[in-house]
Amino acid sequence: MTTRNGREAPLTVGIDVGGTNIRASVVDGSGEVLDTVQAPTPHSARALEDGLSRAVRELRGRHAIGAVGLAVAGFVDETRSSVRFAPHLPWEDSAVAKRLTERLGLPVILEHDANAAMWAEYRFGAAAGAHNGVLVAIGTGIGAALLVEGRLYRGSYGVAPELGHLQVVPQGRACPCGKRGCWERYCSGTALVDTAIEMLATDPMRSTILAREVFADAGSLTGRKVAGAAQDGDPVALKVMADFARWLGLGLAFVGDIFDPDLIVIAGGVSSSAALFLDDAREHYAAAITGTRHRPLARIRTTQLGEAAGMIGAAELARAALDTGTPAARARRKNAEAPQPQSSTAESSRAQPNGAARRPSAGTGTRRR
């Protein structure tokens, strides 16, 4: 399975580097997760890289691994070898891929976690067959990714798109990013809590379930509890979900007006409650986008790969980078305009954005659910 002739895909490791946990999986060329290890995320850069190395070594003890991809919750530079900034990780302007490559002796690439998830959904999941796609991962905040004509769109400096921080309410709710009224302040798990508390403050008597929760311990309220209360028919929680659906539809309509996508994937923790808001959000999207009766509208679907999408996508992007570095791949591309990559990871990483994007999406199917 690990031949490097370009015919059979090597196994690669995808690692979801989150603020709480690191999860590392061995993933095959069809997007199947074969093995996973998990550990808490350490708080220093040195300890984090030790932890990542340990996870890869453990998996390498059981599988022949060709390359490693990291899905990082933060800004990754355009060469995908350094982390510019990650609010919940101890890396800043840090050449993470180079150091890990030296330690592991394997090519290592980095990718923004939402981009990695988008790539996984495109190759193996909900976005298979899409041409222009948007992924919106809704959890504590919003992570977003754009697929433009079958390629991940990363912008000029690697940081696009930051859809969650589009200002939708001038002087609205304060955001940790320093601005006010960002979309994710009204359309996220955190927003469900904030909206619920605001609504309960004005009309506490209507609520049957949520009011009890909040009066017992307001700090314990979570987006999941709000969705649960809505599921159980709490009138205020239902109103909160309706408000969320409106903001989701409106925000997606902004994105739709700019990118005219054919597919939108809703991912992240909140997507598990999609039955409570997705139909309404579609209606708000259709009502808010420009010229709705005179254009086809994007399909809006939920994630197929769920929490594993970031790992699977990072592993797949690492595999693509590896492929651009093989002798066979070099031979195929000898007349291509891109510089010929050497086998060193830094070179592979630089060559990869083009190489990955040229890979076709066909033939992978939609097996995973």
Three-state SS annotation for 204-271: HHHCCCHHHHHHHHHHHCCHHHHHHHHHCCCHHHHHHHHHHHHHHHHHHHHHHHHHCCCEEEEECHHH
- Classify the C-alpha dihedral 236-242-243-245 as positive or negative: positive
The CB-of-168 to Zn ion minimum distance in angstroms stands at 10
Helix, strand, coil percentages for the chain (3-state, nearest 5): 45, 20, 35
- Report the residue number, 168 or 177, with the smaller CB distance to Zn ion: 177
- 92-94/83-85 β-pairing: antiparallel
Query: Rounded distance, CA 192 to CA 367, Å?
Result: 32
| Chain contacts with Zn ion (rule: CB under 5 A) | 165, 175, 177, 179, 182
**What three-state secondary structure class fits 28?**
coil
- Report the residue number, 135 or 182, with the smaller CB distance to Zn ion: 182
> Residue holding tokens 């998830």?
117
The CB-of-165 to Zn ion minimum distance in angstroms stands at 4
- Report the residue number, 182 or 265, with the smaller CB distance to Zn ion: 182
The CB-of-167 to Zn ion minimum distance in angstroms stands at 8
- Report the residue number, 251 or 306, with the smaller CB distance to Zn ion: 251
The CB-of-169 to Zn ion minimum distance in angstroms stands at 11
- Report the residue number, 43 or 179, with the smaller CB distance to Zn ion: 179
Phi, psi of 306 (to 5 degrees): 60, -140
CA distances from 275 to 183, 230, 238, 279, 281 (A): 21, 11, 12, 8, 11
The CB-of-174 to Zn ion minimum distance in angstroms stands at 9
- Report the residue number, 191 or 314, with the smaller CB distance to Zn ion: 191
The CB-of-164 to Zn ion minimum distance in angstroms stands at 7
